Structure 1
Amino acid sequence: MSEPTRKYSISMPQDVAEAARARGGPSGLSAYVAAAVARQIERDNLNELIAVAEAEHGPVTDEDIQAKREQLRRAREEQGTAASGEASAA
């Protein structure tokens, strides 16, 4: 079941509105704008979580970020290897 919708009046620069309308395609401008606003809300929520975590545990360092990226890269490689092995066994 879809969330109920309401009509709102918003103002934005004309060039932004025209670009959004062009990218909205068959779904239209309203769907495009709603998706963009939903993504921004997700980003705002993540930034709030990061601020709380950093207040409790200290800031995340560049080294921490690189270590996690490396961990994710290795995990993806392992998943790719496992998926290849499963496909060839079938």
Structure 2
Amino acid sequence: MHAPEELVESIKARVDTRGVSGYIAAAAALQDAMNRLRELAERLVEEHGDVTDEEQQAALDRIAAIDGRHDEQRASPDVGA
């Protein structure tokens, strides 16, 4: 982990017009969202149990199928364009 001074310098080198405070606010919002998502996942596990390997694979397969359809749509010429 970087020392606070090194972290600020690293951020300054990457920020645009929103500046360091905007960057830090966005990072804090992202961390808050991740924390809330983790809490939701924990509640769902408590209520419904762990996701099985089969359920996880089924979800991944469905995502892959959706991605494939989107890729096909992007590759096909627009009708009437």
TM-score range, shorter chain: 0.7 to 0.9
Q: 2:24 aligns with which of 30, 33, 43?
A: 33
Q: Percent identity?
A: 31
- Residue 16 of structure 2: SS of its match in structure 1? helix
Structure 1 residue 70: deviation in Å? Answer: 1.8
TM-score by length of 1: 0.72
* 2:45 paired residue among 45, 54, 64: 54
- CA separation of 1:57 and 1:81: change in aligned 2, threshold 3 A: same
Deviation per residue, 1:42-73 (Å, 9 max, x gap): 00000010000000011124443332122111
Q: 1:79 — aligned with what?
A: 70
Q: CA deviation at 1:37?
A: 0.4
Q: Which moved more, 1:19-28 or 1:52-61?
A: 19-28
Q: 1:6-21 maps to which residues of 2 (within 5 A)?
A: 13-21=4-12
Note the aligned Cα RMSD (angstroms).
Answer: 2.0
**Aligned partners of 1:66, 1:18: CA distance in 2, in Å?**
42
TM-score (norm 2): 0.79
* Distance (Å, rounded) in 2 between the aligned partners of 1:23 and 1:62: 40
Number of residues of Structure 1 aligned to a counterpart in Structure 2: 78
1:23 aligned residue (6, 11, 14): 14
5+ residue gaps, structure 2: none
